[in-house]
């Protein structure tokens, strides 16, 4: 009799012990479910067509006076491009979103360069050999200017963010600006109308 009581007590103790061991795992599983459900609904709503790139801000201000040298050591100013739609892209070789948008910018430039459109990519502070290698690696055909002293970012456009882009209309006024990488869809939506409106 005493032995059976002892066995019952031990069984109850073991059962209570195993319940205490299972409880943390149960709580962990519930916590993971509570995290996974909202993540599922968020990701479900993001389709491949969702545009997650930066959205331009509309402005109407005079473009800054800026003169820099290109990769061939020739000096150029923004004023030289009056009459064209100019996309000024401030970038650096170490910047991941800058790298991501370069093929998009190159493709967009090639499609619209005959319509009075140009991209001026102004490198912010990288050594010249690194910039030249980057231009070769990405097969860039639009003008690339060197800015070893960060004049464009700190003085002309007053930004510390890379990439940053500004679209200057044919009259020399900044109409659009954005911080961060840009998609082809956004370029088509916002920049093409500026290219086509006063050709």
pLDDT at 54: 73
Low-confidence ranges of the chain (pLDDT < 50): 7, 13, 17, 45-52
pLDDT at 7: 47
* Nearest Cα residue to 78 out of 60, 65, 90, 91: 65
90: Cβ contacts below 8 Å, ≥ 6 apart: 122, 124, 152, 153, 157, 159, 162, 163, 164, 165
Structure token digits, residue 112:
């619209």
Other CB atoms within 10 A of residue 59 CB: 12
pTM beyond 0.75, yes or no: no
């Amino acid at each position: 009799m005493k032995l059976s009581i002892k066995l019952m007590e031990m069984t109850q103790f073991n059962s209570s012990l195993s319940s205490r061991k299972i409880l943390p795992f149960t709580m962990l599983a519930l916590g993971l479910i509570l995290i996974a459900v909202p993540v599922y609904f968020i990701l479900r709503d993001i389709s491949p067509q969702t545009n997650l790139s930066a959205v331009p801000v509309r402005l109407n201000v005079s473009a800054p006076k800026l003169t820099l040298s290109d990769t061939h050591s020739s000096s150029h100013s923004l004023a030289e491009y009056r009459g064209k739609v100019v996309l000024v892209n401030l970038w650096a070789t170490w910047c991941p979103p800058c790298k991501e948008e370069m093929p998009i910018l190159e493709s967009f430039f090639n499609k619209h360069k005959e319509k009075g459109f140009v991209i001026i990519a102004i490198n912010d502070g990288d050594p010249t050999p690194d910039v030249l290698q980057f231009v070769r690696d990405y097969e860039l055909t639009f003008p690339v200017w060197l800015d070893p002293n960060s004049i464009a970012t700190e003085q002309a456009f007053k930004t510390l963010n890379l990439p940053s882009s500004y679209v200057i209309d044919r009259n020399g006024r900044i109409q659009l600006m954005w911080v961060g990488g840009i998609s082809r869809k956004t370029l088509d939506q916002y920049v093409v109308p500026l290219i086509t409106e006063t050709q």
